[in-house]
Amino acid sequence: MTVIRMDGLRKDFTVRVRAGRLRRTKRTVAAVDGIDLRIERGEMVGYIGPNGAGKSTTLKMLTGVLTPSAGTVSVCGLTPVPQRTRLALRIGVVFGQRSQLWWDLPLRESFSLLRHIYRVPAQEHAARLRRCVGLLDLDGFLDTPVRQLSLGQRMRGDLTAALLHGPEVLFLDEPTIGLDVVSKQAVRSFLAELGATGDVTLVLTTHDLADIERLCRRLVVIDHGRVVHDGTIEALHTRYGSRRRLVVDLDAPLPSGFTVDGATLVSLEADGHRASFDLLSDEAGPVVARLAALSSLRDLSLVEPDIEDVVARLYAS
Amino acid sequence: MAELRAYAALLGGQWRSMMAYRASFVVEMITNIGGTALDVLAVLVIFRATPTIAGFTLPEAVLMVSLSSCAFNLADFVVGNIDRLTSYVRTGMLDTVLIRPLGALGQLVFMDLPLRKALRLALAVVVLVVALGLNDIDWTPARVTLAFVVPVAGAVFFAAIFVLSASLAFWWVDSGQLGNAFTYGGRDFTSYPVPVYAGWFRAVFAYGLGFAFVSYQPALALLGRADPLGLPGWTGYVSPLVALAVAGIAALVWRSGIRHYRSTGS
């Protein structure tokens, strides 16, 4: 079942640019420039892109915060802006940079206020809250005013707040931003657990690719408001030619001008005793054999491609 | 019904948040009474210098200022804090309002209801009752109804002006205090009989924007006096219609404003 569909979705902003001392000229900038996307029920989708690529803008159009300039969008069969309040009952949203908790109230009270706002039966609410308290380890600070919580604690509170009404779709805008390693782990394993049930569709934007590697089968990369990749992480590697790297330590230095079929030499260190090659195919064997024939090997390692590098290259292109 | 409970929950949350700063709440509540008192005192001071203003005696003028004060304070109590919309829009905090299953305007009202202004509103009602007693009013059923309806209609009118001026923020983020010219300016305008103003200013504020129907025209109807400016007697009874018209415009502008909301980068 398709939960989210976007067709030719656009969002234009007019910006006024100073031109001379008093004159200003208007310029239209497309923050989202024609996105077509389908997301099925139970999918976990990572939405990444450089700063200003249009990630948050897309999320805000999906949640009914922003009105699209053109194109159509539907979430849970509803049109976000005109049916905003109905949609709100069925989705959960976490903006990593903005808390929806009551600043001066204990966390527990924010949760009970949200129960009334979302009109959740008391029993369901209590059951979901118990589950979140257990998984996110909220016990220690349920009675602390939100203003006194650490960022990691607050984020766990915000995640809980977004889930207490049992949403079908969860939108997370940078849920791990600014968190320490332990909190990041807590949030990730919580989301992984949530996704494992297959009931909740999850869309998250992030700059931390470890979030994606840990959580999302599907990766959507956008740049300048357009989708530049949609698929698995492996597909991204294949498409952008990320190569595994072979690093060998040799007894005898590698002669200059050395070439080998199936790999390209990228660097030579330690007076030629250490060489790094990018493997052009999946097979490392023939290359290793050729090197071993040349000199005995002291050490050898294969380095898997780094998603960060691929994405950095993607943004740069 | 369920929605009312949701708004009540928002209000409860706001009350408990304020109770986190109890002392400051009490202090503000008391200092706020000063606001209403000053409106009335200003009129009294003017009458120290002159026996009549534009042909109106002191009790008549006090009736006008108290009608205006009641309407304004009721509106200010309910939606006065809507001017915080500017900061919600500027900081993008409106995002968190828009993801909840309730109307944005209702949420902003109940999240920020200035309970500390409650005493001020109570004082305004007391002053109105006194002013009605000071004047020799020929009480007919129509006038009794009018005395109850006018402060409410005026409050709707002012509330609409509050919403309209706050909505400026959707198009013009740094609209700042400009809206106050119409809200607080409107309160000051309606505190005095319309004939004290002249020229285009009177035409625009009194009839163009409709401020004459908040206190001046209804006061004439209550007092049974003819309008020195020549408007017919029934104009004293149309304030609910004027208020509804302005409220309708405000609702349309607000809706359109929400669609123009640009949020902020994050």
Calculate ∠ Cα B67-B70-B74, nearest 5°: 145
**Inter-residue long-range contacts of A131-140, CB under 8 Å, 24+ positions, other chains counted:** A132/A159, A132/A160, A132/A163, A132/A164, A133/A160, A135/A190, A135/A193, A136/A160, A136/A186, A136/A187, A136/A190, A137/A186, A138/A107
Residue A312, pLDDT score: 76
> Hey, is the C-beta of A63 within 8 angstroms of any chain B C-beta?
yes
Print pLDDT tens along chain B (266 aa). 678 888 888 888 888 888 888 888 888 888 877 777 777 788 888 888 888 888 899 999 999 999 999 999 999 999 988 888 888 888 888 999 999 999 999 998 888 888 888 888 888 999 999 999 999 999 999 999 999 999 999 999 999 999 998 898 888 877 767 778 888 899 999 999 999 998 999 999 999 999 999 999 999 999 999 999 989 989 999 999 999 999 999 999 999 999 888 877 65
Instruction: State the residue range of the domain holding B40.
Output: 2-260
Q: Indicate whether B266 belongs to any domain.
A: no
pTM of the model: 0.82
Residue B201 located in a structural domain: yes
Give B-chain residues touching A63 at CB under 8 angstroms.
Answer: 98-99
Determine which helix (DSSP H) or strand (DSSP E) holds A169, and give its type and residue range: strand A169-173
Of B94, B245, B30, the C-alpha closest to A95 is: B94
The pLDDT score that the predictor gives to residue B265 is 66
Distance CA A34, CA A13 (A): 14
CA separation for the pair A74, A36 (Å, rounded): 12
Domains of chain A: 1-90+168-175+202-231 (3.40.50.300), 245-316 (no CATH)
> Beta-carbon neighbour count of residue A20 at 10 Å?
7
CA distance A275 to A127: 58
Is there a domain that residue B147 lies in?
yes
CA quadruple B7, B8, B11, B16: dihedral positive or negative? Answer: negative
Q: Which of B93, B95, B101 sits opposite A118 (nearest CB)?
A: B101
Binding-face residues of A in 109-138 toward B, CB within 8 A? 109-110, 113, 115-119
Residue A93: closest C-alpha in chain B: B99
- A43 in helix, strand or coil? coil
Say how many CA atoms lie within 13 Å of B266 toward its Cβ. Answer: 27
* B125 within domain boundaries: yes
Give the three-state DSSP class for A244. Answer: coil
By CB atoms closer than 10 A (0-12, 13-18, 19+), residue B4 is: exposed
- At A209 the pLDDT is 80
Side-chain half-sphere of A45: how many Cα atoms within 13 Å?
23
Select the residue of B16, B94, B262 nearest A105 (Cβ to Cβ): B16
pLDDT of residue A146: 92
DSSP string, A193-205: HHHHTSSSEEEEE
Mutate to test the interface with B, among A84, A165, A207 (most CBs of B within 10 A): A84
- Would you call B1 an interface residue with chain A, using a CB distance cutoff of 8 Å? no
Name which of A60, A89, A145 is nearest B95 (Cβ-Cβ).
A60
Tokens 């389908």 found at: A38
Instruction: Check if B2 contacts A (Cβ < 8 Å).
Output: yes
Residue B211 lies in a domain: yes
Binding-face residues of A in 82-111 toward B, CB within 8 A: 84-86, 88-89, 91, 93, 95-100, 102-105, 109-110
* Predicted local distance difference test score (pLDDT) of residue A21: 75
> How many distinct structural domains can be found in chain B?
1
Closest CA to A33 of A315, A228, A226, A227: A226
Q: How far is CA A197 from CA A165, A191, A193, A201, A268, in A?
A: 16, 10, 7, 10, 49
Across the interface, whether the CB atoms of A85 and B266 are under 8 A apart is answered no
HSE toward the beta carbon, residue A142, CA cutoff 13 A: 13
Determine how β-strand A201-205 pairs with β-strand A24-40: unpaired
* A106 burial via Cβ count (<10 Å: 0-12, 13-18, 19+): buried
Q: Distance (Å) from the C-alpha of residue A66 to the closest C-alpha of chain B?
A: 7
Measure A54 CA to nearest chain B CA, in Å.
9
Q: How far is CA B247 from CA A317, B102, B159, in A?
A: 53, 20, 8
Contact assignment for B20 to A145 by CB distance below 8 Å:
yes
B173 interface with A at CB cutoff 8 Å:
no
Dihedral angle at the C-alpha atoms of B191, B195, B199, B201, nearest 10 degrees?
A: 10
- For B7, name the nearest residue in chain A, comparing CA atoms only: A117
Per-residue pLDDT of chain A (317 residues; tens, 9 = 90+): 899 999 999 999 888 777 777 777 888 888 899 999 999 999 999 998 888 888 889 999 999 999 999 999 999 999 999 999 999 999 999 988 888 899 889 999 999 999 999 999 999 999 999 999 998 889 999 999 999 999 889 999 999 999 999 999 999 998 888 888 888 888 899 899 888 888 899 999 988 888 888 888 899 989 888 998 898 887 877 777 777 788 888 887 877 777 777 788 877 887 778 888 888 777 778 888 877 877 788 888 888 777 777 777 777 76
Asked whether residue B265 is domain-assigned, the answer is no
- Closest by alpha carbon to A75, among A54, A56, A89, A96? A89
Q: With CB atoms and an 8 Å threshold, state whether A81 touches B262.
A: no
The answer to whether the CB atoms of A63 and B99 lie below 8 A apart is yes
Determine if residue A205 is left, alpha or beta; phi over 0 gives left, psi from -120 to 50 gives alpha, anything else beta: beta
